[in-house]
């Protein structure tokens, strides 16, 4: 008999004995300790008896890591009830713990994620974990109060319960960590399905988080994760009735899958952020910001500068400034050689007009790797490759997620705005302008309708690094919630006191 069978058998026997001691059979539903008396948990509306004693017993000692997605949902629901008991102080403690752990483990986990995914840059992976300190917590949830002749009304931000979360390959641990901070600050528990190419590091981090939470607060399985993640486990999470909300961070495929699930979903979808340079502002600053943003983590950020449109008279100056700030310019034939390797056309797709797919082997790779493919040797320390292309070039049209940035000449601001809008594909994600002309800024902002619109800064200024504001790695572009924060993961509930309690 295998060890797994023995473990399952032992669990079932223990559950059966515990069930009989309690006067109920092990398979009959029993209430959780946190929801001892009511048949329905008033906080989430879930039947309190949903957690069977055998499922509870099976979740013991897992530290949040589950092979079975449904089991993870049950355990997370139990944790959610425990968190409700722990109150706001409990949530605050969890938020502090996640932030402290991410800061302390930034280098170790940055290396772990890079070793597993082989995409991006270690220095930026470390920064993304240290930066969790800037994610908003419990303090973000200020209730909205009304006071008038008819008394007092309070609108409060209440939790959903269990949230199913899908994380990308591009920032696996950072997305999971900031999701936990936002979701738990709002009183929820979570079940994660990570990217199959980036899940091992996420499992390590989740286990550590859960151990720390249990040690400090006695709550088990507050941030569960499925190991290994599959499409089946995604479907199980999406279908599980204990999961009240989905939060997906990724490309078009997962957004479509989440929308089709029938469950309410917060969708942080793809982008292809354009930059417009009109020559009215400092070109050197524009170049510095563009190199910083596009080179960040080898251009893995969804908000990262992916193509530049510059007014013709300023093209040469901007190219020179980009080179000064660490970019290396490819010539036409090098760009075409790189493009041939960077995009693949899967057979059978597109019937005569095949749709290109970014070659995963080059996503997030260092500039040296891309340069080698392009057939050129570049100086050590090069941050980014750049090159002139047309507006309809594949590098402009596709979200390449690698450190090659196409730069396109345009004749007017109007042409630049139209080209930017086309390249952005209506994702309404992010866009940048370098300009001191308010009319140009306004025209681009109105035309593109992006969630983030940054003027005279790098894309990272949109997430609080060099600009005002808070940070998060899930930017709900598709469904419109914007940069995720604790309020994103709440239900608004109104409490009305008629004619009384107003003190004047
Ligand atoms: P991806 O779409 O390949 O994967 C994202 C997640 O979705 C993974 O966990 C993956 O396993 C899952 N997934 C993919 N297709 C699925 C399907 N049909 N059903 C269920 N699950 C599915 O993306 P990626 O390469 O990991 O990440 C890069 C993409 O994510 C880019 O498009 C980028 O712009 C986007 N992104 C967006 C944000 C944002 O906040 N808006 C943040 C990070 C990344």
Predicted local confidence at residue 60, as pLDDT: 66
Ligand 1 atom closest to the Cα of residue 303 is 34
Ligand 1 atom closest to the Cα of residue 256 is 18
pLDDT digits (tens, 9 = 90+) for 222-231: 999 999 999 9
Check pocket membership of 132 for ligand 1, CB cut-off 6 A.
Answer: no
Cβ pair 193, 226 in contact under 8 A: yes
Distance, CA of 66 to CA of 70 (rounded, Å): 9
Torsion from C-alpha of 260, 345, 475, 87, nearest 10 degrees: 60
Positive or negative, the CA dihedral 171, 174, 180, 181 is: negative
Name the DSSP class of 500: -
Q: Which of 5-14, 353-362, 363-372 has the highest mean pLDDT?
A: 363-372
**Mean pLDDT of the 239-250 span:** 98
* pLDDT confidence bin for 78, thresholds 50/70/90: very high
CA of 252 to the centre of ligand 1 (A): 7
Q: 238: which residues sit within 8 A by CB, 6+ positions away? A: 164, 246, 257, 258, 261, 262, 263
Q: Which residue has the least CA distance to atom 36 on ligand 1?
A: 250
**Mean pLDDT of the 308-316 span:** 98
**Mean pLDDT of the 373-391 span:** 98
pTM of the model: 0.88
Q: Which two tokens stand for residue 390?
A: 């047309």
Pick the residue with more confidence: 35 or 6?
6
Distance, CA of 102 to CA of 201 (rounded, Å): 13
Ligand 1 atom closest to the Cα of residue 475 is 40
* pLDDT confidence bin for 355, thresholds 50/70/90: confident
Positive or negative, the CA dihedral 473, 479, 485, 490 is: negative
**Mean pLDDT of the 286-297 span:** 98
**Mean pLDDT of the 122-150 span:** 97
* pLDDT confidence bin for 136, thresholds 50/70/90: very high
Task: List 158's β-bridge partners, or say none.
Answer: 491
Predicted local confidence at residue 41, as pLDDT: 37
Closest alpha carbon to 338 in 294, 383, 389: 389
172: pLDDT strictly greater than 50: yes
CA of 69 to the centre of ligand 1 (A): 19
pLDDT digits (tens, 9 = 90+) for 396-429: 999 999 999 999 999 999 999 999 999 999 999 9
* pLDDT confidence bin for 25, thresholds 50/70/90: very low
Instruction: Classify burial at 152, counting beta carbons within 10 Å of its beta carbon; exposed 0-12, middle 13-18, buried 19 or more.
Output: middle
């Amino acid at each position: 008999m295998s060890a797994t069978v023995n473990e399952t058998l032992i669990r079932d026997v223990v559950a059966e004995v515990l069930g009989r001691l309690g006067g109920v059979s092990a398979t009959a539903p029993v209430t959780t300790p946190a929801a001892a008396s009511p048949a329905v948990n008033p906080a989430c509306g879930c039947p309190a008896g949903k957690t069977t004693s055998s499922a509870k017993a099976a979740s013991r000692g897992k530290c949040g890591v589950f092979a079975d997605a449904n089991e993870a949902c049950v355990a997370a629901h139990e944790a959610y009830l425990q968190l409700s008991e722990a109150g706001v102080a409990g949530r605050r403690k969890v938020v502090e713990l996640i932030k402290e752990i991410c800061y302390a483990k930034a280098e170790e986990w940055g290396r772990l994620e890079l070793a597993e995914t082989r995409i991006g840059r270690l220095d930026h992976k470390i920064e993304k974990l240290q930066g969790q300190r800037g994610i908003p917590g419990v303090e973000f949830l200020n209730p909205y109060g009304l006071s008038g002749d008819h008394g007092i009304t309070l609108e409060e931000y209440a939790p959903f319960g269990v949230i199913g979360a899908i994380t990308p390959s591009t920032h696996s641990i950072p997305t999971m960590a900031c999701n936990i901070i936002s979701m738990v600050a709002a009183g929820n528990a979570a079940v994660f399905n990570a990217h199959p190419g980036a899940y091992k590091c996420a499992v390590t981090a989740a286990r550590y988080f859960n151990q720390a939470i249990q040690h400090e607060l006695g709550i088990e399985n507050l941030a569960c994760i499925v190991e290994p993640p599959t499409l089946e486990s995604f479907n199980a999470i999406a279908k599980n009735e204990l999961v009240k909300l989905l939060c997906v961070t990724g490309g078009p495929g997962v957004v479509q899958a989440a929308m089709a699930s029938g469950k309410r979903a917060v969708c942080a979808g793809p982008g292809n952020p354009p930059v417009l340079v009109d020559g009215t502002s400092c070109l050197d600053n524009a170049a510095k910001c563009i190199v910083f943003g596009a080179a960040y983590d080898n251009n893995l950020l969804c908000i990262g500068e992916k193509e530049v449109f510059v007014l013709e008279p300023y093209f040469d100056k901007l190219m020179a400034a980009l080179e000064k700030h660490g970019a290396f310019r490819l010539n036409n034939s090098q760009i075409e050689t790189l493009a041939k390797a960077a995009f693949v056309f899967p057979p059978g797709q597109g019937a005569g007009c095949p749709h290109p797919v970014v070659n995963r082997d080059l996503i997030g790779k260092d500039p040296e790797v891309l340069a080698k493919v392009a057939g050129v040797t570049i100086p050590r320390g090069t941050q980014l490759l750049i090159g002139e292309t047309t507006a309809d070039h594949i590098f402009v049209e596709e979200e390449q997620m690698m450190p090659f940035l196409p730069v396109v000449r345009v004749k007017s601001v109007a042409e630049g705005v139209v080209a930017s809008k086309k390249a952005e594909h209506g994702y309404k994600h992010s866009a940048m302008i370098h300009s001191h002309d308010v009319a140009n800024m306004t025209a681009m902002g109105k035309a593109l309708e992006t969630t983030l619109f940054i003027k005279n800064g790098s894309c990272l200024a949109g997430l609080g690094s060099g600009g005002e504001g808070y940070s998060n790695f899930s930017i709900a572009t598709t469904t419109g919630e914007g940069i995720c924060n604790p309020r994103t993961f709440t239900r608004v509930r109104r409490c009305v006191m008629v004619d009384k309690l107003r003190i004047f």
